[in-house]
Amino acid sequence: MQEALKEWLVLDKENMKFHMGQYDNPYRSTVKFSEFLKGKNVRRGNCRILDLGCGAGAVLGYLLASDKRFLWGYGIDINQNLVDIGNKILQERGIYNCKLVEGDFFHIDKSVFGKIDGVVSLQTFNILPDYTEIVRCMCELNPEWMGFSMLGFEGLIDYKIKLFDYTKDKGNGCSEVFYNIYSLPRMKEFFACMGYSKFEYAEFVIDVDLPRTNRMGRGTYTVKTEQGKRIQISGGMMMPWYFVYVEK
């Protein structure tokens, strides 16, 4: 996974805006993901969730505030600066049932978090070279359920996509990042092999217009079809987002 580390560790103005922006204005993907989980039979009570790739914790904070089934939340991210910033903001906003930890979610120290009931992860699967390793790490935590967002395809094709963003200079002339799209049926089979047989998904159909603000690089915007459906695009690539819920 070393290929993805450079992108994750960079904390420039654009990345800070992405992570900080939704503390005051939650992204529609976050709001809709929370609604998606509310429709699932997640056990009430002492429900502890872990967010893999939590960034500055805005998504985790929103989930804890909007869904009272979740009593405690942990987040893990490899970027120490984002973790420190996020913990400070969460405390300032009175979200005390949440803690962010710096670490590699491919090598999780289970003693740090204790028993985890549910695992969430947003916009992380697609930027990895492959999803099988993160799925194994999630399953090793033995949660009752998992929920995540991903770029998906309802057929039997995986798309391995690596883009080179020449609007960014990270010391090698460009920023390299994966935008992989994964077959949902094949992923369902993989989870079943890991002991999680319930696999449900829903397309994330955004309900607001996003303007195109960067014509030379990345940045999600929407276009409408003749039927009125909004399609999300980043740069020159369509972004077929899905929410997934997995259970034993």
Q: Answer whether residue 149 shows pLDDT above 90.
A: yes
What's the burial of 158, exposed, middle or buried (CB within 10 Å: 0-12/13-18/19+)? middle
Which of 116, 126, 130 minimizes the C-alpha distance to 51? Answer: 116
- Over residues 59-64, the mean pLDDT reads 95
Q: Answer whether residue 182 shows pLDDT above 70.
A: yes
Quick one: pLDDT at residue 2? 47
Q: Answer whether residue 196 shows pLDDT above 80.
A: yes
Q: At what angle do helices 80-92 and 58-66 cross, to 10 degrees?
A: 30
Quick one: pLDDT at residue 97? 93
In degrees, to the nearest 5, what angle opens at C-alpha 247 toward C-alphas 245 and 248?
160
Which H helix or E strand runs over 100? strand 98-102
**pLDDT tens track for 2-36:** 445 455 555 566 677 777 778 889 999 999 999 99
**pLDDT tens track for 91-114:** 999 889 999 999 998 888 888 888
pTM, entire model = 0.91
233 neighbors 221 (Cβ within 8 angstroms) = yes
Which of 243, 139, 240, 143 minimizes the C-alpha distance to 200? Answer: 243
At 174, is the pLDDT very low, low, confident or very high (cuts 50, 70, 90)? Answer: low
Task: Give the single-character DSSP code of 19.
Answer: H
**pLDDT tens track for 70-92:** 999 999 999 999 999 999 999 99
Quick one: pLDDT at residue 6? 53
At 176, is the pLDDT very low, low, confident or very high (cuts 50, 70, 90)? Answer: confident
β-bridge mates for residue 219, sequence order: none
**pLDDT tens track for 214-224:** 888 888 999 99
Top pLDDT among 44 and 41 is at 41
Average pLDDT, the chain: 89
